[in-house]
Amino acid sequence: MKMPAKRVLIFDSGVGGLSVYEQIININSNIECRYLFDNAYFPYGELPREKLVTRITQLLTDFTKQYPADLIVIACNSASTIALDDLRSHFSIPIVGVVPAIKPATFITKNNVIGLLATPGTVERAYTSTLIEQFAAGKKVLRIGSTKLVTLAEDKLMGKVVKQEEFNKILAPWSSAELKDIPDTLVLGCTHFPLLKEEIAACFTKPIQLVDSGEAIALRVRQLLANSLISNEKGEFKQPLLHQAFYTKAFTNLTHLSALQKSFMTYGFESLSFFDC
């Protein structure tokens, strides 16, 4: 007996959610992904709480009316650390959020110095401070909030040249050899940053552990969808069927749009189109 594919909506302000999507499709089959990014309100890491919650609630309500979903992944730390409770009380389907992987980092660090690299919003949130207090007592957790790094990830996927000096400048507070406390483990607390792993690692002279929440999110999605996954007679799960991506603000630069469309195709999307909202 064939079961219809489950519809998973992955949401972010930009391309960052692709790092989560990648992990989700690695271990979940028989799912159809729709990826929605809100470039009209990008960057989320600089928006105040009220504005963010109102916008996301409205946008996801409109989108799911047109494209119903069985599960929503808020693939954005800046939004998850502030809007999850509101979203969960508004929608009746399961909502999975992404928060900085502080706890796993505490098991990895050897020198007990952890760097949290996130958006300005995420590094300042009470939610983040609570995570640190709860899980990283006795460790030193340094924080850098950077929107520039988010835009560098956007640029990279739009085919623009990204220079290593830009990364070196942002990471300089943690990479100088004279520093006493150099983190040996970085928490990539923004979903855009796993798309820049090589560039971030290249800022350091010593090997550095980079930790993100992508795999944990994928496992949570699998757990929530478990009842509806069905294997074929060989015991294999069906392959994913159709993935589509949408943006909320029309691109004025068509070269950038076309480069981005190519990037989305390489991630396995059939289309990248405008969602009018």
Catalytic residues: 76, 190
Rounded Cα gap, residues 160 and 180, in angstroms: 36
Place of tokens 């991506």: 245
Rounded Cα gap, residues 197 and 93, in angstroms: 33
Strands 140-145 and 113-118: parallel
Residue type (1 letter), 264: F
Q: How far is the CB of 119 from ligand DGL (least distance, A)?
A: 4
Place of tokens 């520093």: 179
**How many C-beta neighbours within 10 Å does residue 259 have?**
16
Residue whose CB is less far from ligand DGL, 13 or 175:
13
Q: How far is the CB of 250 from ligand DGL (least distance, A)?
A: 18
Residue whose CB is less far from ligand DGL, 30 or 78:
78
Question: Are the CB atoms for 232 and 39 separated by under 8 Å?
Answer: no
Residue whose CB is less far from ligand DGL, 5 or 118:
118
Rounded Cα gap, residues 153 and 50, in angstroms: 26
**Binding stretches for ligand DGL (CB under 6 A):** 12-14, 16, 42-45, 76-78, 119, 122, 147, 150, 190-192
Q: How far is the CB of 277 from ligand DGL (least distance, A)?
A: 17
Q: How far is the CB of 234 from ligand DGL (least distance, A)?
A: 38
Question: Are the CB atoms for 195 and 12 separated by under 8 Å?
Answer: no
Residue whose CB is less far from ligand DGL, 174 or 193:
193
